[in-house]
Structures are given as C-alpha cells and as structure tokens.
Structure 1
Amino acid sequence: MKRKLMIIGAGREQVPAIINARKLGYETVVTDINKHAPGFAYADYAEVVSTADFDGNLKVAKQYQIDGIMTLGSEVAVPIVAKIARMLGLPGMSEDTALKATNKNAMRAAFKAFAVPSPVSEPVNTLAEAEKFANQYGYPLVIKPSNSSGQRGVEKVVDWPSLCQCFDEAIKYSTDGHAIVETFYAGPEINVTAAVVTGQVTILSLSNRITAASPHFGIAVEHVFPPDISAEQAGAVEAASVLAIRAIGLENGIAYPQVVVGEDGPQVIEIAARIPGGFMREVGLYRSGIDMIDVAIQLAMGCAFSLADHAAIEPVPALSVRFMTELDYPVTDRPVVEIEGIDDAKSANGILSVDIHAEAGRMLPSLHSSAARFGAIIAKGKDRDEARNNSRLAMSKINIGFVDA
C-alpha cells in the first residue's frame, strides 16, 4: 500500500504540492473549507474541513491513517500540523517552534534570547500600552496583529491619530487579542528562503521585496533577484537568517525570514516556518534549482535524502516576479468585461509564466492585503534590470476591459 501524506489546504498555491506528492509516489489526503477548492481535483482523498479546524483535521488524519502531514502558504495551519504530528507520532516541527514561527510576540522573545538583530518591539493589548511605547520610542512605528499573515492589519503609524485607528485594525485580525508594536527600520527589504535538514541550513535565495507605496504598507508588488545589496550585506543577511532559524528551533523544514538592510546592518523583521506563498517557491526554485515543495514533502514523510536529489531545474541568472494589482489597473468599482493579450504576454522575451485569476463578470479587488494581488508574471534575464524590464513589457501587453461607467 502507498504511504499517505495529508496536506492541509487545497487552494491554488497548494496544488503543486498535491501534484508533486503523487509524483513522488504518495497518496494524498487533502482538506479545505471550500468544497470547490482546486486542489481537490488532484487529490486521492478530499475532505471539506477548515485549515483552522484542529479537531476536524485530526479526525481526518486518524480516519486515513496518514504517514505524514504538512501545509504550505497557510500560516494558520502551521500550529495545527505540528500538534497533529506530535499526537500521531509523525515527523514535524515541535509545537514550541510552530508558536514561535506564527506568533510575532513569541517570535520576538525568541529573537531576543538568541540576540537576533531585530527592531525593538513590545506586545500590546490596549491602546494605552501602544501609546506608552510610542512615547518612549517615537514615530514612525509599525503595528501588527500578533498572529496574522498576508499583511492584514499591518500598518506604519506616523502619529497619535493613526495609532488609534491602526491599533483597532491590528487587534481585529489577531486571534489572541494582542498586537505587536515595533520601531520602524528603514532600508531595502530582503526575502530569504532556506531549507533546513537535520539542523543544516541551506540558503536557497535572497531577493528584493519591493512593496507598494502608501497607503498599501508592506504589500509586495515585485520580487527580484539578485537583490540590490552588496556581497558583504548579503553575507550578513544570511548570517542573521540562520540565527533566526536557530532561535525558533527549526530542525527540519522550510524557513522564510524577512530582513531589512538598514544603516545598522540587517534586522530580521519576522520568520515563517513553511513554504511561503506569493510565488516565493518559484523564486527559490529559479535561484537554486531546488524545489522546496519536494523537500518539505520528504521531510514530512520522514525520508532521508540529499538536497541535490531535488535539484529540479538549472538556475537562472536573474528573476522578476511582478504582481498584478489595482495599481496597474485602477478600476475596482466596475466588473471586468474581458482580458486580452495573455498569449502575447506569455510569448514575450524571457517570460517563464503568466498567472491571472481575475475573471470576467467580477470586479478587481482593492489592494488591502496580499490576497488582493490577482496575477503575477515571472520573467528571467541575464541580470536584474533585464528581468524586470521583461516582466514589465509582458504586463503592458495585457489589457483588462471594464463595464462602461
């Protein structure tokens, strides 16, 4: 009998994991709250259960007698995966590591214990506590939910009125009633992907995380490698990332540190212990040649392997992942009528993929979080400038028409 891998989540970003797991010879047991989730079409067994439902997912795991469990792109599922793995005696990260990787206050406490360079921060659950922090450290500062993702409720705060407004938003998106407030640290944002196998950290990619201008704080509109930093700065980013991985106690898995390189060197803003969404799997793949999805699957199944076993493609010299948002097509009050030029974009110079999930008859989403990005173009080039130019030119070929006003 084939061994069974359970994957929590069956959205678009989980589909590659379901496909890859079956290619590796495993049966897949997949859960999602959406009975029409696209991943269900590729799974051996599908159950309608929310990614946030521990009891429901545990019941499914026992029912199918799974041999391994994982998630990707879903922050809320990480602690659930860890707890189920512990209860069933399966490979996986500890629940302590899962907490430190998903709760930003627990994460920062771990960073402090390991002297990981990061902004000064405090947990807060009242506006008075946030005000006290602001009075001590001044503006600007950043406030976030303690345990959310996708940039929901994350804001840069410049004065007292905006603190009042943003505090309520941060608390709204937190599930534990706490927010985190931190000093703002300026500089280029660097995304890091890494594979951790029996404690050995291998950096897969460093890339610039280019974000939208205010009021869309922190939402990435493009990923680019190689990053626009010096070799010395890149080395310091890697060292800080490894220290952050050690701080949360990750021994096996995929790590996703986010780092800012400022006047005082790199500071780690946060770290995830899962395969990130937003096409960061592709960034790691095209930079290193290694598919982190295959690595995560084999780790979840307790297999011994070498990273070289999962070298899937030849790396490219430079890459641009350019997201499509309302900033490119600023009409969000009328439905889409047609989308033209996709084939022209796909055939443009250096294009690796064009992914669009806008649909005729629906309106484009307002850019309130990363989930509002409705497409992405991935382009390669001989250097970062050529890669960025190729993705920009491909996007210019795509025309979205709207219902007349």
Structure 2
Amino acid sequence: MLKVSRKAKIEKDFKLSRYASYRMTVVGSQAKRQVNILYGIGIFFLLFIFLPWTQNTRGRGRLIALEPEKRPQTIHSIIAGRIENWFVSEGDFVRKGDTILFLSEIVDQFMDPQLLDRTQKQIDAKGFSVTAYNQKIIALQRQIEALTIEQRYRLEQARNRVIQAELKVKSDSISFEAAKVNFEIAKKQLVRSESLVEDGLQSLTQLENRKNTFQREQVQIIAAENDLLSSVNGLLNAKIELNSVQVDFDNRLAKAESDLFTAKSSMFETEIDLTKLENQYSNFKVRAGNYYVVAPQDGYITQAIQVGIGETIERGAKIASILPSKYQLAAEIFIDPIDLPLIQIGNKVRFIFDGWPAIVFSGWPQVSNGTFGGKVHAVDNFTSPNNKYRVLVVPDPDEKPWPEPLRIGTGANGILLFNDVPIWYEIWRQLNGFPPDFYELDFGAIYKKK
C-alpha cells in the first residue's frame, strides 16, 4: 500500500531540502534578522521624525568692530608734501597724537621759511592802520560836535544882529516921522511969518529966524531919512550874514561828515584786509602743523601704504592703516531676502569661526560643540551689493565669551535659530521651499532682564 493517510508526513519519506525551489520558499534565520533590522529601522525612523528640530538659516560673514570709529581705518595726508622721515614701523603701537611721519613743503606759495613771521608783520601793520582810522574817526566826530556847537552860537549871534537891525529900523522910522512933522510945522510957521511981515505985524529978524528953523528941519528930515535907509540896509546885511553863517557851517559840517564816512569806509576796508590776513595766518599755521602726520587714536600700525624717503604724495593720499587697540567685536553676516521677515533684534545665533574646529548639528544647537553664541544687534533696511541683507550680531552675554585670539576680519559662519518643530515638519518645509516658522520674542522679559 502507498500509505497516503492524512497523518502521514512526506518529510519522512522525502527530503525536500534537496530541492532548490523548496529551499527558496523556506524562511531562513538570516532573512529573519534582515526583516527585524528593517522593522527596527522603520520604528527608529518613525520615532526620529517626531524628534524636535530647531529651524535655522545660515549666513556667511566676517568679524568687525561694533563701533564705526573703532574699525580699521586709513590715515590720510591733509596736504601735499614730500616724505622726509618715518617715526613708526608696521606693527608698532601708537597713542593718539603720536607722530607717524614728517612731510616737507612742495607748494611754491608756502615755501618761505619766514612765512608766518612776515604774515604776522602784515597783520600788525593793518592793525595799526585800523587804529589810525579809528583815531581819525574820533577826531572827526569831535570836530563835528565842535562845529555844531559853534554853528548854534554863531546863528544865535546873527539872529540877534537881525533883531537889532529891525529895532534900529523901527527907531529910525520913528525919527524920520518926527522929522517930517517938525518940517511941516517949520514950513507952516515960515509961511505965517512971511504973511505977518507983509502985514507989518512981525519984524524981518523973526522971519529970518523962521527961515533958519525951516532950513534946520529940512536938514533933519533928510538926515532922518538917510538914517532910515541905512538901518534898512543894515537889516538886509544882517539877514544876509545870518544866511551866510548857516550856509558856511552847513558846508563845513557836510565836509566833516564826508571825511568821517570816508574814514569809516577806509577803516572797514582795512578791517576786511586784516581779517583776510588773519585767516591766511591761521591757514598757514594749521598747514605748518600738518607737516607732522599724527595718529588719530590709540592703535597698531598695520600697513604703510606710502613708503620710502623723498617720495611726494598728493593731498588726501593714503599714508598708512591703523587698527584701534580697544574695540568690541561683532559679526556681520549676510542672509537671503526670503529670511529677512523672520529676523528680529535679539534673535539667537550660533557661530563657527574660521580656525576653531566645531562639531555642528544645526537642528540641535544644544549638542553642538565648538560653536559660540550671539544675538542680533541690527539689521540693514536695504540690500548689500551682493543682493543680501546684512545682519549685525554681537556676543550673547548669556553664553560663553568669544575666543580672545579672534581678530577683525576673521571669517564667521552664522546659524540663525528660529522655532522648534518636529523633524517631519522640517522635511516637509524643505521639500516645499517654505521659509522657517516665525516666532516672536518676549521683549518685555528681555528688557526686564537688562
């Protein structure tokens, strides 16, 4: 019999493992391990994508000084000149006011070694001229005052003469009228005497007496008229003299005032010349002081741009560069315009400095090593020539300080930190090209802490 009952097992009679097709359908221990590994990886990935991730954006830049006046600068020559002597070398420390080099003059206008002394003599001479004009003005003013007083008295005297002449005219006019009355009386008495003599009632002697009286009165009336005419003429002369005095003093005062104004004008012109000379003297003195090029502040001479002895330089030429000795470091980094709306004053930043090794997990700044903290200090309101926005970052006082050997110009790679999100969300955001999530700082707490 074939023994094909249900309970019978084929393995007892046949070894299936001898067949390759069978062996391919049987799950082995190695395959089970691979499946378990895949399950483990899947579970780990599922748990991993729910881990927190700090969103960030990167910006490349360099270290600078926070204060503009503390940044590296070049020293310029204020005047054109010839280099005569250097007093420093590259790398030397200088203090504010220390001499860096000495220049000699190359402009013909300023080559006179006694330029300042001769200019000072011109200033002194102009000053004496101003003083002389001032004294002349004072003398003319006194002359005008004296003429004014004399004019008042002379006019008063002339007016008094006019009044005296008017009174004399009145007096002579009265005398003339009295002489006319006496003449008429004498004339009538003579006529009556002649009638009486013809009638034989009066003697010839009395008639002759009347004739003498008539002739005397005739003389008196002529004399009185002559006196009256003389008085009228004297009145006219007095009035003419009054007018002459007025005109004479007016002319003398006008001339004195003209001389006064001329003296004032000359004094003002001299003062203008004096001011110009004083300005030139100050310019010459300042220029002489610029022969010595001095350090504008404490710092180190980093590079001599103009070299050699006897080399001529133009006005405004660069002579040397200086790095201030005391400054506060800050980092300027550049970010893309898409990230600008997310940047706020006080945002946290992690830095990787050139020359300082670091292990960086951008999404987990807590476990990164070799990075240094910073805070956003300022953000530009316009793009830089590279079409990116400049962000100024200062050291975070709550973090460990930046390395002491850092110098201005060191490269800095900044990581600006934003919101904490799951990893799956960050992957989805990156695939869709969305910007990081926006979050707001608690400025009240920040200022309170400050």
Q: TM-score, normalization: structure 1?
A: 0.16
Q: More strand per residue: 1 or 2?
A: 1
Q: Please tell me whether Structure 1 or Structure 2 has the larger radius of gyration of its CA atoms.
A: 2
The answer to which structure has the higher helix fraction is: 2
* Higher RCO structure (Cα 8 Å, ≥6 apart): 2
